[in-house]
Amino acid sequence: MTGTAEKTYPVPEEELFRFAELGRASSTLTVLRHARIAERMGLSGTDHKTFDLVVQSNGPLTAGRIAELTGLSTGAVTGVIDRLEKVGLVHRVRDPEDRRKVLVAVVPGASERFAPLFQSAFDWLREMLAQFSPAERKVIERYQNVMLEQLRAEIMDNSRPA
């Protein structure tokens, strides 16, 4: 549940299972879609999504932080960073506040190189959302935000099962 005082409603088991199956199918197809995109980028799925995490961070990250976010070992993260650096997507920079630390930063323009690979997703999303009224889209957006909040909490809290 989110931190808000939203009203809650009972969820029948049959409805719970329907939503679980929809989520499962959506997750599987999303992973497969991103695996195809990663392949077109010349990356593994892990490398692609790690790059995406660095892009979304809106600033350089330490290798340790990348390990926390991905759940990968620090050794595996070093390999990912090496591969991303080799294809010109990220570079290592010294932390200006602590020169002993190394940060991973996105190479300027790196994301834009692959924007065409995502255009079909934006086109599809526009077509799909056009089938829903503005009020329905607000409900869908709220659902997505609650789901993302729960996923972030689960991923960031290593004590909870994934």
Q: What is the pLDDT along the chain (162 residues), one digit of tens a residue?
A: 555 567 999 999 999 999 999 999 999 999 999 999 999 999 999 999 999 999 999 899 999 999 998 989 999 999 999 999 999 999 999 988 888 888 999 999 999 998 998 899 899 999 999 999 999 999 999 999 999 999 888 877 754 444
Residue 85: count other Cβ atoms within 10 Å of its Cβ: 14
| Domain contains 6 | no
* Whole-number pLDDT of residue 58: 85
Separation of alpha carbons 105 and 80, rounded Å: 13
The answer to whether residues 132 and 56 belong to one domain is: no
Per the structure, the complete domain to which residue 43 belongs is given by: 13-113
Dump pLDDT digits (tens) for 55-93.
Answer: 999 899 999 999 998 989 999 999 999 999 999 999 999
The count of domains in the chain is 2
Separation of alpha carbons 45 and 32, rounded Å: 9
CATH number at residue 73: 1.10.10.10
| Domain contains 8 | no
The answer to whether residues 106 and 63 belong to one domain is: yes
Separation of alpha carbons 99 and 75, rounded Å: 21
Token pair of 128, please? 């799909």
The answer to whether residues 101 and 21 belong to one domain is: yes
The answer to whether residues 120 and 146 belong to one domain is: yes
Neighbouring residues of 149: CB distance < 8 A, sequence distance ≥ 6: 2
Which residue in 48, 49, 47, 75 sits closest to 63, CA to CA?
75
